[in-house]
Structure 1
Amino acid sequence: MKGNVVIWSIVVGPSPDARAVEAARAGVTIPDDVLAWAESHGVALHNPDAYLLVTPKEEAGPVDGETAYCEGAVSAEDMEAIWAALTPEHAPSSPDS
């Protein structure tokens, strides 16, 4: 797999030290196949304890509460959103800064 490779993780419960972001909160598009995979592993509106994290492959590491993970690819824009959420220095500059 080439390009913007990420690791998608299903997590149950808190994972404050994870080097990953909640895809929906970061504005990352979740591909249909990843969404179906996540739902098959318990991510659903009726289960608020299970959620989907995403991180660049090179940042992936152990995640407390992880029950499953898979590799995938995202667009350049989504990768930028992931980096911006992970590290403030990657966030776009505002005109006021």
Structure 2
Amino acid sequence: MDYFPEVIQVIPTEDYRVYIYFDDGSIKLFDAKNLVGQGVFAPLIDREKFLGSCKVLNHTLAWDLKGNYDETECLDLDPLELYRTCPEVEEPAGLFKSQSGQRV
């Protein structure tokens, strides 16, 4: 595989899943339910922590637990593994809200 995927956007959900947007235009869905609460990922069992610290760091899905955007201190996942193993999905239109507060 000559292509090395880079994550450009992530959208976490209340049910511990993350929509992952890759630089080739694909959208994958990562289910983190089995990850949260385990080992170094234990703090992510707190839903607010899971949602609020989910970022793109190191060109991949990451959680910035300290909130300082330090790429050496985040919890990140291998983008190639995410690209290979996560199912491809459609744009999650129901997650987006218009400026009036209604879902678009």
TM-score (norm 1): 0.35
TM-score (norm 2): 0.33
Give the number of the structure with larger relative contact order, counting CA–CA contacts within 8 Å between residues 6 or more apart: 1
